[in-house]
Amino acid sequence: MFVEIDRNSSISIKKQLYDALTYKILNKELPAGHRMPSSRQLSDQLSIARNTVTEIYDQLVAESYLNTYQGRGTFVAQLGDCKISSSQKKDFSEKEDTSDKDIISLVAGRPDLESFPDKQWLKACRDVLETHSQRFFDYGETNGYTPFRKSLVKYLKYHKGIYCSYNQIIVTNGTKHAAYLIASALKHKYSKVMIESPAVDFIARTFHQNGYDVTAAPTDNNGMIVENLNESTPSLIYTSPAHQFPLGGTMPICRRQKLLDFAAANGHIVLEDDYDSEFRYKGAPVNSLYQLNSERVIHLGSFSKTLSPALRLGYIVVPDKLVDVFNVYQDSVGNPVNTLNQAALNELITSGVYESHIYKMTKVYKAKMKMLTQSLSDAFAESIIINGCAIGLHISVEFTDIMFNIKNKEIFRDNGLDIELTSEYNVDKPSSSCNSLIIGFGHLNTEQIQQAIQRLKKAIDDIKRKN
Amino acid sequence: MFVEIDRNSSISIKKQLYDALTYKILNKELPAGHRMPSSRQLSDQLSIARNTVTEIYDQLVAESYLNTYQGRGTFVAQLGDCKISSSQKKDFSEKEDTSDKDIISLVAGRPDLESFPDKQWLKACRDVLETHSQRFFDYGETNGYTPFRKSLVKYLKYHKGIYCSYNQIIVTNGTKHAAYLIASALKHKYSKVMIESPAVDFIARTFHQNGYDVTAAPTDNNGMIVENLNESTPSLIYTSPAHQFPLGGTMPICRRQKLLDFAAANGHIVLEDDYDSEFRYKGAPVNSLYQLNSERVIHLGSFSKTLSPALRLGYIVVPDKLVDVFNVYQDSVGNPVNTLNQAALNELITSGVYESHIYKMTKVYKAKMKMLTQSLSDAFAESIIINGCAIGLHISVEFTDIMFNIKNKEIFRDNGLDIELTSEYNVDKPSSSCNSLIIGFGHLNTEQIQQAIQRLKKAIDDIKRKN
């Protein structure tokens, strides 16, 4: 007959028969009204079980490819012209990535990827899986796995001085998700957001996409310039006070108090993005804004820097009075965070592995930071000011004797560097020139750091020559 | 002095000193202008290293808690009134969940959680981690881990007859994320969505939240009633043709063709939600809509039913001509899916473990389905019609001799059952009465199924008596 069955194929005989028949019917090789062979005939012809044929005939009748009339037989139905798509024959050739191998990226945001505690992570995964608890395999709790949130309560208390209940914590897929979640959950209460500028780029985009009126708040080396704020419509205010991104500043206590007084007086809510303050190289962890006013601050935390951005794990702490608003939103959208990963990270935290990892990595990053600032001083002496070197995985470097514009990036690239200007992160008008560069170093080893600064020196000489 | 240092605390001495000093400054125990002891005095008093004190003093100066005047000493700065939040003293007592133990849930959507292939999953995780490849720990590729998408290309070809390139595939956190992603990425091109009704509840919500004009398309036991559609503004059309949720029908080929002709004539895009068609108990896997017209269909797939909803893994296949639109969107928001999990699942697929698991689970679910339909027939004989039993993890049951309303759910619950009416999923007006119930059975064992149907029988007798 007209159907070929390949007994060596990995595709089941049922599926082959179904595919062949539907293809022929849709392409009119078996036209409307055509009488199909009986199931006995077809099974004999193809040497396949009659049951298989009957089952597929039944299915094709159910899906209206065929009609069957008691005592008369089975016939091809009258169908439209829509066929199996011709794209099936297309050749989907694949482009391979061709990325330049000798570029050192100084773009900020990535931690040391070689130091991921893979053995401990695997052990935690095994421990979780070996409990065979169904809760790990089911749809997760809307605000995140409760034992994990309870561990976070303790962690936040000891490491950030944040006192909260686990029901104020929502586990997120990281800060992008947190921004989206906040923008969505609060958009019926707030329609404006003030964002410190420069700031990480997805914040403005997320709020803009959610219909917010976005304004930029000027920012200097001490963080957002709070003194200039004068919005009286209740709004959201985004800031990264522990380690301003990208400028690097830590917001002083007087500005923090002014910001919170301003928020309290006008009904604003402050979004405190604390993306990397776990790594502090001098002194003690900074007090959080949340600590100063837990009714006006949503605190955003992440494991992307402390462990790995691949995990997609973070959390927000919301004020008591906003818990219900977030619950309503979360109930409606569900939580997108993998429960097994939450449970594994919970193991790392409760067993102390997470804390030891941060302790170990703080030393690693401190050594890198020292190497970086030393290399910069050696290369540029008095012509630079380094900002943000007490905390985190990036610094900003102000040059006193040169302005950069966006076109200079090509010269950096010609010298083997991927590097960004701080002005690329301006929230309002991305200005094309500024005197400061961002240097992310978390992902580099000390050799790469030294080489990068040599290249930077040469690139800047090139830029000066061309000016 | 005024600071107590606890040497047995797990909190570092630096942090204790920082916390104690900032607390006292903010609470005016150390008033503005107060002269601080010298670092030598304080280190002697507290018997801690002088370096520690200097470091914290430096930090408090940097954060403007203190001012230092050359040769005069260190003084408390003039600050505002914003103190360390009083919520720190609050007792965050926790409510424990008290959930009824003897309720059998027939709510649809959960697979057999005891059968998650945990050993194989763990092995895949170990294999991934042991490669020590940095790409697994970095921020992921925006559309998902490429080797995983390439495996999906092969999988889709052999198992769903879908021919596509990996650049048409976007890895998602499951179908909720897919719906959100589509609604967001396409909202500048489309402003209307037609949703088959009844349908899974988050679809209408997601599009509504994204500002779409949502209309309900009536649906019967053969899926969406395509014949009634008459929208000429280019729109999105949501349907679940393989196994309509919740009614259970498979859309016949004639309707599929009409739907796609209608879409092509008016510039519509069809969203084909294929959430559970991997489990087919009779015949062969149904042809997808995507197969019939790859230019008009976005195909939505998920691993929540085949493996576990806790993984938060799924994918969409988008038409070639929409790839750019989705790329722009994805570039702006980033991909929220854990790379390690994508790599682990990729291992399961390429090693054949995933396919064997589906094969094994199809037999498990088939046995459950048989037990379920047999128990229902035994209990209700001719007074019911069972829909949707060829595919998936739920059926709908129409009763010919009784109407249910939402208040009857209490009677079901009194009889130890959590069960939903199909009308609870109506997209437009949730009607309070209908004659059909949804029974999800994937997560139940055969004993629970039998017991559930006995309870159902008794509950329905109770309802009839009360009517």
How many domains is chain B built from? 3
Interface TM-score (ipTM) > 0.85: no
CB spacing of B252 vs A334 below 8 angstroms: no
Asked whether residue B4 is assigned to any structural domain, the reply reads no
CA-CA distances (angstroms) from residue B413 to A11, A17, A325, A374, B380?
A: 45, 46, 29, 70, 20
Residue B430 confidence (pLDDT): 72
Alpha-carbon span A18 to A16, nearest angstrom: 5
Cα end-to-end span (Å), chain A? 79
pLDDT of res. B273: 98
Indicate if B55 and B143 belong to the same structural domain. Answer: no
Q: Which of A305, A338, A346 to mutate to test the interface with B (most CBs of B within 10 A)?
A: A338
Q: Which residues contact A190 (CB under 8 A, 6 or more apart)?
A: A212, A234, A235, A236, A269
Final residue belonging to a domain, choices B327, B355, B383: B355
Q: Please list every residue in chain B whose beta carbon sits closer than 8 Å to the beta carbon of residue A176.
A: 333-334, 336
Give the model confidence (pLDDT) of B100-127 as tens digits: 568 999 999 999 988 999 999 999 999 9
Q: Do residue A338 and residue B339 have CB atoms under 8 angstroms apart? A: no
Q: In this structure, is residue B8 part of a structural domain?
A: no
In contact, A298 and A325? CB cutoff 8 Å: no
Categorize the per-residue pLDDT at A418 as very low, low, confident or very high, splitting at 50, 70 and 90.
Answer: very high
Contact between chains at B250 and A62 (C-beta distance less than 8 A) = yes
Same domain, A54 and A108: no
Which pLDDT belongs to residue A64?
A: 87
For residue B279, being part of any structural domain is answered with: yes
User: Cβ contacts (< 8 Å) between A63 and chain B: which residues?
Assistant: 250-253, 286
> Tell me, what's the pLDDT at B93?
47
Per the omega criterion (within 30 degrees of 0), is the bond before B31 cis?
no
Q: Is B455 inside any structural domain?
A: yes
pLDDT of residue B99: 55
Same domain, B85 and B162: no
The answer to the question of residue B7 being in a domain is no
The alpha-carbon gap from B115 to the nearest alpha carbon of chain A, in Å, equals 9
Which of B338, B355, B372 terminates a domain? The answer is B355
Residue A89: which pLDDT band, with cuts at 50, 70 and 90?
very low
> Are B336 and B355 a contacting pair, CB within 8 Å?
no
Q: Are A319 and A388 in the same domain? A: no
Q: Which residues of B touch A18 (CB under 8 A)?
A: 283-285, 287
Here the tokens at position A280 are: 């502090």
Domain annotation covers residue B435: yes
Q: How far apart are the first and last CA of chain B?
A: 79
Between chain A and chain B, the number of residue pairs with CB atoms below 8 A apart is: 300
> Which of A30, A382, A326, A361 is CA-nearest to residue A184?
A326
In B349-424, the DSSP E strands lie at 384-387, 394-399, 404-405, 417-418, 420-421
Task: Say yes or no: B331 and B272 in one domain.
Answer: yes
B281 and B176 within one domain: yes
Contact of A161 with A349, CB cutoff 8 Å: no
Paired residues of B75 in beta bridges: B35, B67
CA–CA distances in Å: residue A213 to residues A72, A231, A394, B329? 69, 12, 30, 20
Q: CB under 8 Å to B317, separation ≥6 — which residues?
A: B156, B162, B164, B168, B169, B290, B298, B299, B301
Residues B444 and B300 in one domain: no
Question: Within this chain, do residues B28 and B108 fall inside the same structural domain, yes or no?
Answer: no
CATH code of the domain containing B63: 1.10.10.10
Same domain flag for B401 and B414 = yes
- Asked whether the CA dihedral A112, A114, A120, A123 is positive or negative, the reply is positive
Confidence of residue A285 (pLDDT cuts 50, 70, 90): confident
Examine residue A246 and say whether the peptide bond preceding it is cis (omega within 30 degrees of 0): yes
A366 and A236 within one domain: no
Q: How confident is the model at residue A93 (pLDDT cuts 50, 70, 90)?
A: very low
Residue with tokens 């917010």: A212
Closest-approach residue (CA) in chain A for B162: A88
The verdict on a CB contact (< 8 Å) between B85 and A293 is yes
Q: Which segments of chain B have a pLDDT < 70?
A: 1-2, 84-101, 431
pLDDT tens track for A120-171: 999 999 999 888 788 888 888 999 999 999 999 999 988 888 999 999 999 9
pLDDT greater than 70 at residue A456: yes
Indicate whether B458 and B422 sit together in one domain.
Answer: yes
Residue A15 pLDDT exceeds 70: yes
CATH of the domain at B366: 3.90.1150.10
B277 and B140 within one domain: yes
Residues of A in contact with B79 (CB under 8 A): 253-254, 257
Positive or negative CA dihedral for A86, A88, A89, A94?
A: positive
Instruction: Enter the tokens of residue B252.
Output: 């016949």
Minimal Cα–Cα distance from A54 to chain B, Å? 9
- CB-CB under 8 Å, B19 with A161: yes
Task: Give me B267's structure tokens.
Answer: 């510039």
Token pair, residue A294, equals 């837990």
**Structural contact between residues A152 and A167, judged by C-beta atoms closer than 8 angstroms:** no
* CB B272, CB A101: distance < 8 Å: no
Q: Which domain holds residue B436?
A: 104-112+359-466
Instruction: Establish if B96 belongs to a structural domain.
Output: no
Place of tokens 């809510």: A269
Q: What is the pLDDT of residue B69?
A: 87
SS3 at position A443:
coil
Q: What is the pLDDT of residues A59-74, one digit of tens each?
A: 898 888 999 888 888 9
Q: Which of B309, B338, B355 is the last residue of a domain?
A: B355
pLDDT at A125: 92
CATH number at residue A283: 3.40.640.10
d(CA B434, CA A453): 72
> Chain A residues with CB inside 8 Å of B292's CB?
26, 82-85
Residue in B134, B209, B309 closest to A184 by CB: B209
In a domain, B134, yes or no: yes
Cross-chain Cβ contact B290/A85 below 8 Å: yes
Left, alpha or beta for A162 (phi > 0: left; psi -120 to 50: alpha)? beta
Per-residue tokens: A212: 């917010």
Its sign, for the CA torsion B313, B316, B317, B320, is negative
Q: Which of B400, B351, B165 is nearest to A88 (CA)?
A: B165
The residues, ordered by sequence, that sit 6+ positions from B98 with a Cβ below 8 Å of its Cβ are: none
Which residue of chain B is at minimal alpha-carbon distance from A201?
A: B332
Q: Distance from A178 to chain B by nearest Cα, in Å? A: 11
Report d(CA B158, CA B123) in Å as an integer. 25
Name the residue among A342, A320, A8, A10 with its Cα closest to residue A165. A320
